[in-house]
Copies of this chain bind each other. A is one copy, B any other.
Amino acid sequence: MDVNELLPKSETLRLREKLIGPSCKLFFRADPLKIVSGKGQYMFNEKGEKYLDCINNVTHVGHGHPKIADVASRQLRVLNTNSRFLNDNLVVYAEKLTSLLPPPLSVCFFVNSGSEANDLALRLARTHTKAKDVIVMDHGYHGHVISLIDISPYKFNHKGGEGKPDWVHIAPVPDIYRGKYTDKDYSMEELTDLYTDEIKKIVDENVANGKGTSCFIAESLQSCGGQIILPPNYLRKAYKYVRDAGGVCIADEVQVGFGRVGTHWWGFQLQGDDVCPDIVTMGKPMGNGFPIAAVITTKEIADSFGATGMEYFNTYGGNPLSCAIGNAVLDIIVEEKLMENAVVVGASLLKSLAVLKEKYHIIGDIRGVGMFIGIDLVKDRESREPATSEAQHIISRMKEEYILFSADGPHRNVLKFKPPMVFSLQDADHLITILDTIFQEIESVNV
């Protein structure tokens, strides 16, 4: 057995089925993977077999990074307590984080997960605006707590969901390939207008119905919804309509922040230097797998929240350990030039995927930026009918080739690339070679 394995795989699986809630799903349910260790962009099973990891967007600076281990070890020996005491780690980290955002975003709340962050963002928005209604993007996902399932169409409109609460309003996702309006019928400029007009329609209806709009919350690039890149000017226009109606704008950067897009630290920045949300939430990659998340907002909104007099206390949030680790992650991103790497590797992949698209009809659309890429698979390029079962087959075949990939989006037909940021050009070449082989297999069967 591997030195890091405590039980035979069959026993691990038996105990998992007995002891862990059945709602907690395994990848590759029919033949789940047991992972015992990881290094950089690779994960290893109990037999020592090496998998190339294209899906772990949490392990941002790579699996098993020694600097994170060193920082945690040192801080755990020194101190880990709550944020009701003054401690330097908290303020040093808050200062560094806010320096990476436009100046109005200057006040931090530290929490433990993206779900806690979005829940708090919702409270901030409601307290500040004194309104309740929320505008969300279709297929959006914002977290697993009760308040966020309520605002996540990815949850409430799917299996086990209870549908949309009446205070939630769904704007169509600006998916220009298979959304309500597409590039088949409209220019990019028209698409931006059509999609943002849908936001305007909602805020106007809220006004007409005597209701305010507390906020518009959107992932800066939609992930679970199918790796969607917002069209140019989308946020600029959407934010204006929302603000004109008294609402605040929340950028959910939980999945895509911290330099994943390569050219910028945050996804919303792709929309232009003048585009600035009122609240940003961040999480997943923030601690490289250590539970940290944050809400960063303006002084005005933080002051409105403070003015209620209700204390906000988060037991673990902003403790010296999590801040030390968050700080180390920021340092590593810079020291190891991971954003620069994302630019180079992302561009290379998009170029190679464009070549594959020429060869294989199953590839309907390729979209992405940096280490965030989606491949929308179709049965037919004209109808754009989603190739759902083919996507599942490809994922399984890639697993056989020791590459971990996943598919998502409303039709589960979008291959989703969001690897650790240390993913290399060599890895990209290997990935393309394997994809080429598998697409070839599929097309030869279908001929």
**Chain A residues at the B interface, C-beta cutoff of 8 Å:** 4-7, 9, 12-13, 15-16, 18-27, 32-38, 43, 56, 58-59, 63-66, 68-70, 72-74, 76-92, 94-95, 98, 106-109, 112-116, 119-120, 122-123, 144-147, 155, 158-161, 283-284, 288-291, 297, 302-303, 305-306, 308-316, 318-319, 321-322
Say yes or no: B33 contacts A85, CB within 8 Å. Answer: yes
Residues of B close to A284: CB separation below 8 A: 315
A63 to B321, CA, bound (A): 12
Say yes or no: B123 contacts A146, CB within 8 Å. Answer: yes
Question: What residue in chain B is nearest A88 (Cβ atoms)?
Answer: B6
Residues of B close to A315: CB separation below 8 A: 58, 113-114, 283-284
Q: List 19 A-B contacts (CB under 8 A).
A: A12-B86, A12-B88, A15-B91, A15-B92, A22-B303, A24-B314, A32-B86, A35-B86, A63-B79, A64-B77, A72-B73, A80-B290, A81-B289, A113-B314, A119-B145, A145-B146, A159-B308, A283-B315, A284-B315
Tell me whether A86 and B6 are in contact in the complex, defined as CB-CB below 8 angstroms, given that A77-B66, A81-B35 are known contacts.
no
Say yes or no: B22 contacts A306, CB within 8 Å. Answer: yes
Residues of B close to A306: CB separation below 8 A: 21-23
A87 to B63, CA, bound (A): 15
Shortest A95–chain B CB gap in Å is: 6
Question: What residue in chain B is nearest A404 (Cβ atoms)?
Answer: B85
17 additional A-B residue pairs with CB within 8 Å, beyond A38-B80, A159-B309: A7-B92, A12-B91, A19-B94, A20-B318, A21-B297, A23-B308, A24-B312, A26-B84, A34-B85, A64-B79, A73-B76, A80-B288, A112-B113, A114-B315, A145-B147, A290-B321, A291-B316
Residues of B close to A314: CB separation below 8 A: 24, 113, 115, 144
Question: What residue in chain B is nearest A114 (Cβ atoms)?
Answer: B315
Residues of B close to A37: CB separation below 8 A: 78-79
Tell me whether A81 and B38 are in contact in the complex, defined as CB-CB below 8 angstroms, given that A7-B91, A290-B321 are known contacts.
yes
Q: What 6 pairs between A and B have smallest CB-CB spacing?
A: A160-B310, A160-B308, A22-B306, A159-B309, A73-B73, A69-B76
- Please indicate which of the listed interface residues A24, A73, A112, A314 has the most CB atoms of chain B within 10 Å of its own CB: A24
Say yes or no: A38 contacts B79, CB within 8 Å. Answer: yes
Which of B70, B147, B308 is within 8 Å of A146, CB to CB? B147
Say yes or no: A94 contacts B15, CB within 8 Å. Answer: yes
Residues of B close to A63: CB separation below 8 A: 79-81
A154 to B199, CA, bound (A): 38
Shortest A418–chain B CB gap in Å is: 13
Say yes or no: A20 contacts B159, CB within 8 Å. Answer: no
Shortest A179–chain B CB gap in Å is: 24
Say yes or no: A289 contacts B321, CB within 8 Å. Answer: yes
- Please indicate which of the listed interface residues A19, A26, A95 has the most CB atoms of chain B within 10 Å of its own CB: A19
Residues of B close to A87: CB separation below 8 A: 12, 34-36
Question: What residue in chain B is nearest A254 (Cβ atoms)?
Answer: B315
- Please indicate which of the listed interface residues A5, A91, A291, A302 has the most CB atoms of chain B within 10 Å of its own CB: A291
Say yes or no: A305 contacts B23, CB within 8 Å. Answer: yes
Which of B65, B95, B291, B318 is within 8 Å of A15, CB to CB? B95
Residues of B close to A27: CB separation below 8 A: 84-85
Say yes or no: B144 contacts A147, CB within 8 Å. Answer: no
Say yes or no: B159 contacts A146, CB within 8 Å. Answer: no
Say yes or no: A116 contacts B88, CB within 8 Å. Answer: no
A124 to B446, CA, bound (A): 46
Residues of B close to A64: CB separation below 8 A: 76-80
Say yes or no: A159 contacts B81, CB within 8 Å. Answer: no
Residues of B close to A84: CB separation below 8 A: 25-27
Tell me whether A19 and B106 are in contact in the complex, defined as CB-CB below 8 angstroms, given that A79-B36, A160-B310 are known contacts.
yes
